Amino acid sequence: MPLFIADVAHEFRRYKKDADRALAGLSDADYRRRVGDAVNPVGIIVKHLGGNLRSRWADFLTTDGEKPTRDRDGEFVLTDADTRESLTAIWEAGWSALFETLAEITDADLDKLVTIRGEPHRVQQALFRGLGHAAYHVGQIMYLARLMNPTAEYATIAPGKSKEHAAGYLKKAEGKS
């Protein structure tokens, strides 16, 4: 995998890992819980991001990123059929489409044009667009998970623990010298 694409894939994997960890700390009921009238529940964000990733990254170099089979509006509605298991399947299918595509892209592809909703993007630009979109929604998931489970382990450095954390990684770095 080319270095630039490997770096992008690394960031996508990091976001997925953070989201998966936050999701693992939620109950099935938390997937449907609305913390406010205008706030999407985690289940909708999972459904939307999974649908978006699948649409954007399947047949990435040859078809528009907005597939005619995608029901974007339906991604923002939870039905009785939207169980945690079915939402997880949508989530995993989207991430799989992304990672399969990233494994196939080469440096020669970076300047090729792809379309998203009929708008041309260089492959590199589409990668940045997708990375930003995923980061935005992963941040929402992590924030909602913190609201619903405030005693959960921190995904990053816990408040007040920066010096302790720095001492740990500085010690590791010294040992490698």
Domain hosting 42: range is 3-176
Domain containing 17 — which CATH number? 1.20.120.450
Q: Is the dihedral of CA 39, 44, 50, 51 positive or negative?
A: negative
Which residues does 77 contact at the CB level (< 8 Å), separation at least 6? 44
pLDDT at 90 over 80: yes
Residues 4-49 have pLDDT tens digits of 999 999 999 999 999 999 999 999 999 999 999 999 999 999 999 9
Looking at residue 170, what is its pLDDT? 60
Confidence of residue 1 (pLDDT cuts 50, 70, 90): confident
Looking at residue 174, what is its pLDDT? 74
Looking at residue 56, what is its pLDDT? 98
* Distance in angstroms (rounded) separating the CA atoms of residues 147 and 96: 28
Among 87, 95, 89, smallest CA distance to 130 is for 95
Confidence of residue 173 (pLDDT cuts 50, 70, 90): low
Residues 55-75 have pLDDT tens digits of 999 999 999 999 999 999 999
Count up the domains in the chain and report the number. 1
Looking at residue 177, what is its pLDDT? 58
Residues 104-132 have pLDDT tens digits of 999 899 999 999 999 999 999 999 999 99
pTM: 0.91
